[in-house]
């Protein structure tokens, strides 16, 4: 939530900052702003409600010169999205400008105290409180900006990633983090800053991931220096970035979401590569921790949103293949539930971004209570990836569209491989079973390629349902979470209300909703529960509801009952969510496009939820 960009030493900082903001816009897009220090020592701050394009238009007639600057794209937490609440914010005398990602929980108390000391506030934000606090400490004690920043960070409670410019220090930029990500890119003569690596990728592949409670002193002429909030020198650990610019562009597609849906044959190929060898699953995270997995008493999966849905599927896979008791928890609930966690428990944190605040906190709690922490993340070097004992990356490349698509199929595929690898180790799956499922996993990229051929018929189908107000999604067993995921996709990008249920639960309440205005999407592949799902379809049809059914190719029974069928290739039951997710993603996408929605940046949402 919120994107930060910074730059020092480049000739035209403004263009770098704006380009970086576009890259980070998926993190928040209700307002944006930039602060630039020009060669005359003036600190120019420009802010605008709306997207980065609006900021650019606003800046057209302004002085945007300077080689040092910070910029921000916002997802509002304190105060409505408007020009005043947009970042950067300045201290009382205007010498300091700050951008912030996170939330300062004790901002109200601090604000009141600062007001008593004569500070007057322009915005409703917690961020202005922080920069006013830094300014006040600096002025009242006569200390340096760095000292004031350190002192202020010790007083705030909450999460932050900040970048700070001091008009009186034209050769320096400060950055600090706690629970919100920041990456520093070390270029040739210039240094860059970003909430993730995407704004830095075309300038350098040398990056430093700032750690919690660290402050970076980024100077024009001196090497990067890192200290902790209590003034201990920190380590500058330079890593090599493996990301290319082309991965961050639309590649001819109208939206990132469609590009990411169509990328799935390749992303799954990358996800599986090197992990299935001679009919067996090889995951280094399991191989390096065999005893932990062999003796595991329980798995606790923590995640949010789509990742939580993948976790529910993972539960079925671990139960079936590894015979370990599994609990799946919303990370946001788990963290405040005083959970019983023991040694011998494994906490699996699933997160595309690796930065979701609730998932990170849940993971930390489970770990403190003795669990072994395993991560299933996409973003390499992300906070969750770094805070786990071990893990498996899904390796599906940067996901920019706010609606998660390729990350979901990557997560389920990794969870299938993980359950299989642990089952192999514990002797709970036969060699035959491993061989069969492993071969099917290897075949997934080709199967997804075939499934994507449904695109045209789904576009046509979407035209029929564009103006419906409600949708029901039903599935059973491993495809109940797929139904939840289908409903989430539709509601987040089309703003149509949609509910997912286990198909058999329908008769306990939701059936009351069925009429000719409520379409139901059934996920009904040929599996052990196929006959049961057929009965559920008949119940809907008997009440005048229309049915869109996702079925295994050649399923003539459902074809005679449903209004529309979408045929997917046959795969083992445990992998069917990966395949049935494709038509659900396409259905949500086309309906949203037909409704004229902003598919990649739906209202009120942000890609990476780094606040509570
Ligand atoms: O980065 P994470 O996987 O931790 O994100 C979790 C959710 O915020 C995310 O899946 C969200 O629900 C997506 N918008 C769903 O499409």
Q: What is the pLDDT of residue 353?
A: 93
Please report the atom of ligand 1 found closest to the CA of residue 306: 10
Q: Collect all residues with Cβ–Cβ distance below 8 Å to 346 and sequence separation of at least 6.
A: 292, 293, 296, 298, 299, 300, 371, 372, 373, 374
Question: Per-residue pLDDT for 594 more than 90?
Answer: yes
Residue 607 pLDDT exceeds 90: no
For ligand 1, is residue 404 a contact (CB within 6 Å)? yes
Confidence grade of residue 381 (pLDDT, cut at 50, 70, 90): confident
Q: Which of 536, 533, 554 is nearest to 545 (CA)?
A: 536
- Per-residue model confidence (pLDDT) at position 380: 86
CA distances from 230 to 67, 150, 177, 234, 291 (A): 30, 7, 13, 10, 38
pTM score, whole prediction = 0.84
3-class DSSP assignment, residue 86? coil
Measured distance CA(178)–CA(437) in Å, rounded: 42
Ligand 1 touching residue 101 (CB < 6 A)? no
Reported confidence tier of residue 242, pLDDT bands at 50, 70, 90: confident
Burial 421-460 (b: 16+ CB within 10 A, else e): bbbbbbebbeeebbeebbebbbebbebbeebbebbeebbe
User: Sorting pLDDT into bands at 50, 70 and 90, what band is 1?
Assistant: confident
Share above pLDDT 70 across residues of the chain, in percent, rounded to a whole number: 100
Q: Is 383 in the pocket of ligand 1 (CB under 6 A)?
A: no
Phi, psi of 76 (to 5 degrees): -60, 135
The DSSP H or E segment spanning 266 is helix 264-272
Q: Which of 137, 150, 148, 145 is CA-nearest to residue 170? A: 145
| CB 103 within 8 Å of CB 612 | yes
Separation of CA 384 and ligand 1 centre (Å)? 14
Radius of gyration in angstroms for the set of CA atoms belonging to the chain, rounded to a whole number = 25
Residue to mutate, 257, 304, 391, ligand 1, most ligand atoms under 8 Å from C-beta: 304
The structure tokens listed for 506 are: 């329908």
* 77 pLDDT higher than 90: no
609 lines ligand 1 (CB under 6 A): yes
Nearest ligand 1 atom to the CA of 405 is: 16
Alpha-carbon distance of 376 to 258, in angstroms, equals 24
If you search the block for the tokens 């200390």, which residue do you land on? 143
Q: What's the token pair of residue 192?
A: 């860059």
Angstrom distance (rounded) from CA 69 to CA 167: 11
Q: In what order do the strands lie in the sheet containing 372-377? A: 326-330, 298-303, 345-351, 372-377, 390-391
Report residue 285: phi and psi, to 5°: -60, -30
Best-predicted range by mean pLDDT (277-281, 296-300, 512-516): 296-300
For residue 245, name the pLDDT band (cuts at 50, 70, 90): confident
Cβ contact 341:277 at 8 Å: no
Q: How far is the CA of 380 from the centre of ligand 1 (A)?
A: 16
Rounded to an integer, the average pLDDT of 396-415 is 96
Cα-to-chain-centroid distance, residue 59? 30
454 in helix, strand or coil? helix
How does the average pLDDT of the chain come out, rounded? Answer: 95
pLDDT at position 117 is 96
pLDDT tens figures, 489-526 = 999 999 999 999 999 998 899 899 999 999 999 999 99
pLDDT category of residue 561 using cuts at 50, 70 and 90: very high
Alpha-carbon gap, residue 417 to 419, rounded angstroms: 6
Q: Is the pLDDT of residue 28 over 90?
A: no
């Amino acid at each position: 939530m919120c994107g930060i960009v910074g730059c020092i030493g480049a000739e035209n900082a403004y263009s770098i900052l704006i380009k970086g903001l576009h890259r980070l816009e998926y993190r928040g897009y209700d307002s944006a702003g930039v602060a630039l220090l020009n060669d005359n020592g003036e600190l120019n701050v420009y802010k605008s409600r709306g997207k980065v394009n609006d900021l650019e238009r606003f800046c057209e007639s302004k002085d945007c010169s300077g080689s040092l600057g910070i910029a921000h794209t916002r997802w509002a937490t304190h105060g409505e999205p408007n020009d005043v609440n947009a970042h950067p914010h300045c201290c009382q005398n205007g010498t300091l400008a700050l951008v912030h990602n996170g939330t300062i929980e004790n901002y109200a108390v601090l604000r009141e105290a600062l007001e008593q000391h004569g500070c007057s506030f322009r915005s409703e934000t917690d961020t202005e409180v922080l920069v006013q606090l830094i300014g006040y400490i600096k002025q009242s004690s006569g200390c340096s900006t760095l000292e004031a920043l350190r002192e202020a960070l010790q007083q705030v409670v909450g999460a932050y990633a900040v970048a700070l410019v001091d008009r009186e220090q034209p050769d320096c930029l400060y950055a600090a983090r706690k629970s919100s990500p920041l990456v520093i890119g070390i270029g040739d003569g210039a240094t860059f800053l970003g909430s993730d690596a995407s704004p830095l990728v075309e300038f350098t592949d040398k990056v430093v991931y700032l750690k919690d409670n660290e402050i970076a002193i980024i100077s024009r002429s001196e090497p990067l220096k890192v200290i902790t909030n209590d003034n201990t020198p920190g380590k500058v650990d330079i890593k090599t970035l493996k990301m290319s610019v082309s991965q961050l562009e639309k590649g001819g597609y109208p939206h990132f979401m469609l590009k990411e849906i169509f990328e799935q044959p390749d992303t799954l190929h990358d996800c599986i590569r090197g992990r299935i060898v001679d009919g067996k699953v090889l995951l280094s995270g399991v191989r390096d921790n065999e005893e932990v997995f062999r003796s595991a008493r329980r798995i606790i999966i923590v995640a949010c949103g789509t990742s939580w849905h993948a976790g529910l599927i993972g539960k079925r896979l671990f139960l079936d293949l590894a015979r370990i008791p599994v609990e799946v928890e919303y990370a946001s609930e788990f963290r405040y539930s005083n959970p019983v966690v023991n040694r011998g428990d494994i906490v699996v944190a699933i997160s595309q971004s690796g930065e979701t605040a609730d998932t990170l906190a849940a993971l930390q709690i489970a770990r403190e209570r003795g669990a072994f922490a395993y991560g299933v993340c996409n973003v390499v070097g992300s906070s969750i990836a770094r805070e786990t004992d071990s893990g498996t990356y899904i390796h599906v490349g940067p996901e920019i569209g706010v609606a998660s698509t390729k990350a979901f199929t990557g997560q389920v595929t990794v969870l299938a491989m993980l359950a299989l690898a642990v089952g192999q180790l514990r002797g709970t799956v036969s060699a035959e079973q491993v061989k069969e499922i492993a071969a099917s996993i290897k075949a997934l990229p080709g199967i997804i390629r075939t499934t994507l051929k449904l695109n045209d018929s789904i576009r046509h189908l979407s035209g029929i349902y564009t103006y419906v107000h409600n949708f029901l999604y039903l599935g059973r067993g491993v495809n109940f979470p797929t139904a939840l995921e289908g409903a989430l996709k539709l509601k987040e990008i089309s703003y149509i209300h949609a509910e997912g249920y286990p198909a058999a639960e329908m008769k306990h309440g939701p059936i009351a909703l069925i009429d000719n205005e409520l379409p139901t999407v059934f996920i009904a592949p040929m599996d052990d529960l196929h006959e049961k799902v057929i009965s559920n379809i008949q119940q809907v049809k008997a009440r005048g509801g229309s049915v869109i059914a996702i079925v295994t190719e050649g399923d003539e029974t459902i074809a005679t009952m449903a209004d529309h069928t979408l045929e997917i290739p046959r795969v083992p039951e445990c992998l069917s969510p990966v395949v049935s997710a494709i038509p659900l993603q396409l259905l949500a996408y086309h309906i949203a496009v037909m409704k004229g929605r902003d598919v990649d940046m739906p209202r009120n949402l942000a890609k990476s939820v780094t606040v509570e």
